[in-house]
Amino acid sequence: MKLYFKPGACSMAPHIALREAGYVFEQEKVDLARHQTASGEDFLRINPKGYVPALRLDDGSILTECTVMLQYIADHMPASGLAPAAGTMERYRLMEWLNFLATEVHKPFGPFFNPKAPQEIKDYNLRLLMRRLEFLATHINGRQFLMDDRFTVADIYLFTLLNWCNLHGIDLAQWPTLKDYMTRIAARPSVRETMKAEGLIN
Ligand SMILES: N[C@@H](CCC(=O)N[C@@H](CS)C(=O)NCC(=O)O)C(=O)O
């Protein structure tokens, strides 16, 4: 298996999940502006959508989309416990979280990474994100993880997204439950190893 990633981007979620689940895998950095991998491959031939993450499976095929990849990673290492079994109500709850994170938290961050995005769009999205973060802080209050005491791929995804708050001047200290949640997850060996491998921490 091989993960195509950009340091600190949403590809950090499958990266953490691969380590958390105990996979042996390869990884290759992508220069998204040039659509080129570190070894010089044309990334558009790997993922014509042009974005990370992309996961090359052992049969050579490519899987894209964070939420799907996270479930694939969890399902193929069931002992990791990173996702409840398919078909159970808990699994639908997990998918509910993953979909919420992808559409209501991940995407509104988009304009903040684009220097050409109009300020009105950034202001609008910031207000939206503040509401989502408020909701998440209330939900996590009194819980260890999104799904109570079960650590899942949804927590890995949320950690990856909340990590962007620092970059865009959103101070998580205003939600102590979110700040504590981030500290708890950042301390996991898989998270530290991933952030080291991506050059984000020493
Ligand atoms: N729908 C995709 C979105 C992935 C995405 O937004 N990737 C960003 C990094 S966080 C990216 O590669 N952006 C570059 C681009 O779209 O050209 C997913 O959920 O995996």
Give residue 28's pLDDT. Answer: 98
- Backbone angles phi and psi of 139, in degrees to 5: -65, -45
Residue 198: per-residue pLDDT: 98
Structure tokens belonging to residue 181: 């949640």
**What pLDDT score was predicted for residue 118?**
97
Report the separation in Å between the CA atom of 142 and the middle of ligand 1, taken as the mean of its atom positions. Answer: 32
Write down the pLDDT at residue 30: 98
Per-residue pLDDT at 164: 98
Q: Is the C-beta atom of 118 inside 6 A of ligand 1?
A: no
Distance 51 CA to ligand 1 centre (A): 5
Q: At what angle do helices 66-75 and 153-162 cross, to 10 degrees?
A: 140
Kindly report whether the peptide bond that precedes residue 48 is cis, defined as omega within 30 degrees of 0.
no
Ligand 1 pocket residue status of 35, Cβ below 6 Å: no
* pLDDT of res. 175: 98
What the chain holds in terms of domains, given with CATH numbers, is: 2-80+190-197 (3.40.30.10), 89-188 (1.20.1050.10)
pLDDT of residue 108: 97
Run means of pLDDT, 10 residues per run, the chain, 202 residues: 98 98 98 98 98 98 98 98 98 98 97 95 96 98 98 98 94 97 98 98 94
Phi first, then psi: give them for residue 192, nearest 5 degrees: -65, -45
Q: What is the DSSP string of 133-200?
A: HHHHHHHHTT-SBTBBTB--HHHHHHHHHHTTTGGGT--GGGSHHHHHHHHHHHTSHHHHHHHHHTTS
C-alpha angle 74-75-79 in degrees, rounded to nearest 5: 75
Report in angstroms the alpha-carbon separations of 112 from 107, 117, 123, 148, 159. 10, 7, 10, 31, 18
pLDDT at 71: 98
